[in-house]
Amino acid sequence: MYRIFQFVDGFHQSIHLSYGFCLWNLLALIVTAILVVVLVVHAFKQKKRRKKMEEKLEELQAQKAAEPQPQET
């Protein structure tokens, strides 16, 4: 178990000293990239759903306009 901690500590030190940022910054960058991808996919799917709903609404409005209106007496 001690060897695992040594490896993790050595890995952390090598990244911190070599690239000038901490391991937590790398994890935050990965999480941010995942969030951006999820938001882009969500926006794309939402746009498709909205277009489909607008088409359905137009179809329903056209059907309602084609129906004969009852005349009041």
**What was the pLDDT predicted at 68?**
78
Q: Span 53-70, mean pLDDT?
A: 89
Over range 33-61, report the average pLDDT: 97
| pLDDT confidence band for 1 (50 / 70 / 90) | low
Looking at the chain, the number of H-run helices and the number of E-run strands are 2, 0
Q: 3-state DSSP call for residue 21? A: coil
Distances (CA, A) of 53 to 36, 43, 50, 66, 67: 26, 15, 5, 20, 21
pTM attached to this predicted model? 0.58
